[in-house]
Amino acid sequence: MFNLMKLAAEANRVIALRTMKLMRGGRSARREAKLMVSEKIIAASEAAASLMVGKSTDEIVHRYRQHVARNAKRLGGPQGWSKRN
């Protein structure tokens, strides 16, 4: 449960970073919007496959947190903020 709460907080930060980027507009914002949609489809497919092979919810949340950490780094979030346990 704690892992899920951490995911929610980390994802909230990424949403803020992403929103700022989208608000600036331009080519970079269009690229970000496309990337966001494709990442969500890939992450959902990965989670479904993980459930089918019997992975735990905690393992799936951990994997989502890795995706969120990569996005935070790419979007310019503070270094290491999402690596805290």
Q: Where are the domains of the chain?
A: 2-78
Does residue 11 register a pLDDT over 80?
Answer: yes
Helix (H, G, I), strand (E, B) or coil at 80: coil
pTM score above 0.85: no
pLDDT value at position 81? 47
Does residue 82 register a pLDDT over 80?
Answer: no
Burial classification of residue 71, based on how many CB atoms lie within 10 Å of its CB (0-12 exposed, 13-18 middle, 19 or more buried): buried
Mean pLDDT for the stretch of residues 25-49: 96
Does residue 38 register a pLDDT over 90?
Answer: yes
Q: What is the DSSP-derived secondary structure letter of residue 30?
A: H
